[in-house]
Amino acid sequence: MSFLRGEAMTGGYGGADILHGCDISVERGEIAVIVGPNGAGKSTAMKAMFGMLGLREGRVTLDDTDITALTPQDRVRAGMGFVPQNNNVFVTMTVQENLEMGAYIRDDDFQATMEQVFELFPVLKEKRRQPAGELSGGQRQQVAVGRALMTQPSVLMLDEPTAGVSPIVMDELFDRILEVAATGIAILMVEQNARQALNIADRGYVLVQGSNRFTDTGEALLANPEVRASFLGG
Amino acid sequence: MTDFLNAIVLFANFVFVPGLAYGAQLALGALGVTLVFGILRFANFAHGDLMAFGAMVTILVTWWLQSIGVGIDPLPTALLALPVGMAGAVALALLTDRWVFRFYRRRKAAPIVMVMASVGVMFMYNGLVRFIIGPDDQRFADGARFVVSARDFRDMTGLDEGLVIRQPVLITIIVAFAVVAALFWFLQRSRMGKAMRAYSDNEDLALLSGINPEKVVAVTWVIAASLATIAGVLYGLDKSFKPFTYFQLLLPIFAAAIVGGIGQPIGAIAGGFVVAFSEVTITYAYKRFLEYFGFQPEGLVQLLSVEYKFAVSFVILVLVLLARPTGIFRGRVL
Amino acid sequence: MSGWRIAFLYLGMAVALAAVGFLQSWNVSLAILNLCLISAIMALGVNIQWGYAGLFNVGIMGFAALGGVAAVLTSQPPVHDAWAAGGVGIGLALLSLVATVAVLMVVRSRTAGAARVLLMLALGAGGFFLIRYFLDPAVAAIEATDAARTGYLGGAGLPVYLSWIVGGLFAAAAAWLVGKIALGLRADYLAIATLGISEIIIAMIKNEDWLTRGVKNVTGLPRPVPVEIELRQERWFIDLAGSLGVDPTEFASIYVKLGYALLFVVVLVVVMWLAERALKSPWGRMMRAIRDNRDAAEAMGKDVTRRHLQVFILGSAVVGIAGAMLTTLDGQFTPGSYNPLRFTFLIWVMVIVGGSGNNWGAVLGGFLIWFVWIEAEPVGIWLMNAITAGLPADNVVRLHLLDAAPHMRLFLMGLILLLVLRFSPRGLIPERVSRS
């Protein structure tokens, strides 16, 4: 049984179903990546696992506990961290305050966690007193990931973390994500930059029209000629 | 030289000191409007009448305290009654939120529907206040009237003009300063204050971070209603209490919030003083002031008569909307 | 929405008015009817703004008051002495105003940056003093002319019903000014701006005595219908009353009220017809499309701000017309009587209760709410008497409650608005959603 698992997920945002019996799972310390064409339901699948839309069928389990009925807020408390694609930092607040807000639900001392985040993203320590709105795109993404890490989650979900950043910044961000995974956190992310993302992925899911088309290790998917031809641009 | 000093004292007495007190009162009111806007995202038209309600409760308690002979002479009894008035306004605001605004918030109704509901609430508050205390002027100030009287000042300095510092003015300035300092400490340093700023900045992300929106909203109303009561009581002590006046204060308060940048507490304060000083300087008759400089003006040399003081707030509002809709401190555009 | 429901609701309203006629008196009933008709027109104006376009106007009072000013300026005879005393000064002040605005516009379009701001401020201040230089002595001279009886310029001496059109034009001009500034920003700004302009309009009307006589009021406005006292002395009228077997005194007042009612019905029918035509035209469909999805409409290339300005001006003009009619009916202009509760808030309750977006609903709301507003007073006093019946006549609580009963009426209206807004936001006669 996988650590976080969405089984046969079917549902949408109230109207027609977007997901049709979609299966996603990820293990601790692993990176799972969801790729696929536009409108395939990549983000929707991840949001479903985070409880941001109601499932008509299927279920979500975390560490063998059924969490299908929990609200996103409750899932945060249960150990899930989510980094939205847009508006993922408090722009008027300083970097440090952003991290504090990430730890809002914690009543214990989170100073050590903050130090860990600063170790992971040294540039944030430097800019801890600056409003997050004044940072560059890549730095903002670091703040966003750092904010989500403040709850010490067991699963971290990232919705297109590299959208709109330069290739160099993207590589660096992926390096950091690998480091995070190495600490034993399960990482699930949705990516447009399929090739680079599958490069670091332990497991990849290719979604088409809300269903799984290919599921394999990242390496195998990159090697699969059909996947290459259809989804990776040859 | 004496003429020059006399002119300065005259100006301070009739423009600077009253402007300072009025500005502080407006700032407290505008802080409430701006906080409610930042968190609940609508312009609350009921704020002026919430001020009137809080002030009314304070007045009723003041009268009761006066009748049983409890006071804190030389300070006005109203200061003793103020916490009760604040509690009353807070209770009313929370009930209103529970019965009116929460419904629209949960449905994510368009802001204009919330504004409209707040107009309904405004008239209900208005009816309530008139029903309980009546529509007329009420006086409730007691204690010492002056800190520095005109004669003291003249004796002290030997000038012809006197600088009067009335006690309510001094109290206004001291209380406003203390309250604003406490508010800023709360917003910048406390966990709840930061949560409020986070919620105001990015509602969805605040929810993701586990911030409880109902708690944020409740705290916002507690602060806004308390500030409204303080502003209302200070205004009433300084001038007098009349329900309709508080309704009319709504315009300068909105102007102050927008001039400063809506959703920006620091802007609300700056805006309050900008509006107040504009109003006072534009409606002041400069005849005697100019006479000290050797001019002999025929008329009163008053730019606008006092009846048009709303026009001043309105013109400021219009200028800001045309030139810089985000206000001085780059708030949101409504 | 079936036509039956509308017919039924209107029938109920007619029955209520008839009941007042039978139970109280026909004079009272007609008095209520006349104000119902005016309220209905105002509600139509507001419905055009809110129902068609979603514009929230909190300054209805100001536009109605401008209509009142129009009634005075159109129908009162000109005061020649006052014109002789200050006419030239007022004219020069007006000219300076026009010149100042023209210069400011030129500067605004020709310069940029900090220079523009400074130059405009300086020129604006200069223009202000120039205007005041001409205006102040002229105003003093005019207000000194027979101050007890006139002390103002008077009007154009035209028939009073023309003022209904003039009132519409005045209100439209004010709406253009407000709309230019506040439309295009978020809707809250329009609400705040209209609140402000209405307070300023009232302040001007109260203080610019040379124009409106201010709080000294203008009484004895000419009327579009006969005057009761004169009517009672007419041969044909006495004969008519005799043949109907009614008291000429009471009949005279009923006759006059019927005359007003007829005129008002004509205006209401015309405005209603135009409003319905507009709503069903492509223009009306576009307005509603903008209201329901502004972004989509904008993406389709609609100039939303311009359309909003149009509809805001039209709605305000209708309110101005109704305001002029109201002053005509009163026969006097009393600036002190304008208060936002009666003139802004009550109209809003009418539109929301009647059914925003539906003209038939707005008109019904105008009738119903005015009826309730008037009849709530005797009911309220009766209720307070009933509640306090056990208390002695001089009990403080009883006296206070009786005294405060009218304020409760306000509270109840607020309550009605909030209840309808929450539980039946579409009102009594909901908007027809057309499918095409």
What is the ipTM score, two decimals? 0.88
Backbone angles phi, psi at A39, to 5 degrees: 75, 15
Pairing type for strands A80-83 and A186-190 reads unpaired
Structure tokens at C6: 């509308």
Q: Could A84 and B208 be called an inter-chain contact, meaning their C-beta atoms sit closer than 8 Å? A: yes
In angstroms, the CA C315 to CA C52 distance is 10
Collect all residues of chain B within an 8 Å Cβ-Cβ radius of residue A91. 201-202
Mean pLDDT is highest, among A171-175, B68-72, B220-224, C303-307, for B220-224
C406 CB-near residues (< 8 Å, 6+ apart)? C377, C380
Contact call for residues C404 and C388 (beta carbons, < 8 A) = no
Cα–Cα distance for residue pair C93/B88, rounded to 1 Å: 52
First to last CA, chain C: 16
- Confidence category of residue A234, pLDDT binned at 50, 70, 90: low
Q: What is the pTM of this model?
A: 0.90
Residue B334: per-residue pLDDT:
46
Tell whether A21 is within 8 A of chain B (Cβ). Answer: no
In Å, how far is B133's CA from the nearest CA of chain C?
A: 9
**Confidence band of C113 (pLDDT split at 50, 70, 90):** confident
Q: Comparing C-alpha atoms, which of B79, B98, B262 is closest to residue B171?
A: B79
CB C195 within 8 A of CB C202: no
For residues A9 and A48, the answer to whether their CB atoms sit within 8 Å is yes
CB B225 within 8 A of CB B50: yes
At A157, give phi and psi (nearest 5°): -110, 130
Mean pLDDT of A58-76: 91
Which pLDDT score is estimated for C190?
Answer: 87
What is the residue-level pLDDT of chain B in tens, covering all 334 positions? 788 888 999 999 999 999 999 999 999 999 999 999 999 989 999 999 999 999 999 999 999 999 998 888 889 999 999 999 999 999 999 999 999 999 999 988 888 889 999 999 998 999 999 989 988 999 888 888 888 888 888 888 888 888 889 999 999 999 999 999 999 999 999 999 999 999 999 999 998 888 989 999 999 999 999 999 999 999 999 999 999 899 989 999 999 999 988 888 999 999 999 999 999 999 998 888 888 888 888 777 888 888 888 888 888 888 888 778 788 887 665 4
Look at C375 and C10; give whichever has higher pLDDT.
Answer: C10
Q: How confident is the model at residue C435 (pLDDT cuts 50, 70, 90)?
A: very low
Distance from CA of C186 to the nearest CA of B (A): 5
Give, to the nearest 10 degrees, the angle between helix B111-133 and helix B47-67: 20
What the block records as the tokens of A208 is 């088409």
What would the pLDDT profile of C382-431 be if each residue is shown by its tens digit?
887 888 777 777 778 777 877 777 777 888 888 999 999 999 888 898 88
Say how many CB pairs under 8 Å bridge B and C: 130
Tracing tokens 């304070």 back to the chain, one arrives at: B58
Evaluate whether A183 touches A169 at the Cβ level (below 8 Å): no
Neighbours of C161 (CB within 10 A): 19
How much of chain C exceeds pLDDT 90, in percent?
Answer: 47
pLDDT at C128 over 50: yes
What is the C-alpha to C-alpha distance for residues B50 and B126, in angstroms, rounded to an integer?
Answer: 9
Question: C-contacting residues of B 213-272, CB under 8 Å?
Answer: 247-248, 250-251, 254-255, 258
Distance from CA of B217 to the nearest CA of C (A): 20
Q: Is B191 on the interface with A (CB under 8 A)?
A: yes
Tell whether C292 is within 8 A of chain B (Cβ): no
Largest CA distance in chain C: 80
Q: Hey, of B123, B278, B318, which one would you mutate to test binding to chain C, going by the most C CBs within 10 A of its CB? A: B123
How far away is chain B from the Cα of C233, in angstroms, using its nearest Cα?
44
For helices B309-323 and C187-207, the axis angle rounded to 10 degrees is 150
Contacting residues of A for B191, CB less than 8 Å apart:
100, 104
pLDDT value at A97 more than 70: yes
For the cut 80, the answer to whether the pLDDT of residue A76 exceeds it is yes
**Residue A110 forms contact with B (CB below 8 Å):** no
B40 in reach of chain C (CB within 8 A): no
pLDDT for residue C146? 84
Residue A117: the pLDDT is: 94
* Average pLDDT of chain C to the nearest whole number: 89
B148 burial via Cβ count (<10 Å: 0-12, 13-18, 19+)? middle
Set of chain B residues whose Cβ sits within 8 Å of the Cβ of C404: 130-132, 134
C202 reaches B (C-beta below 8 A):
no
Q: Testing the interface with C: which of B95, B114, B131, B287 to mutate, by most C Cβ within 10 A?
A: B131
At C342-360, the pLDDT tens digits run 899 899 999 999 988 899 9
Query: What residues of A are in contact with residue B194 (Cβ under 8 Å)?
Result: 93, 97, 100-101
Indicate the helix (H) or strand (E) that contains A61: strand A57-62
Predicted confidence at residue C234, as pLDDT, reads: 83
Whether B195 has its CB under 8 Å from any CB of chain A: the answer is yes
* DSSP one-letter string for C310-374: HHHHHHHHHHHHHHHHHHHHHTSB-GGG--HIIIIIHHHHHHHHH-TT-HHHHHHHHHHHHHHHH
Q: Is A80 helix (H, G, I), strand (E, B) or coil?
A: strand
Distance CA C145, CA A129 (A): 70
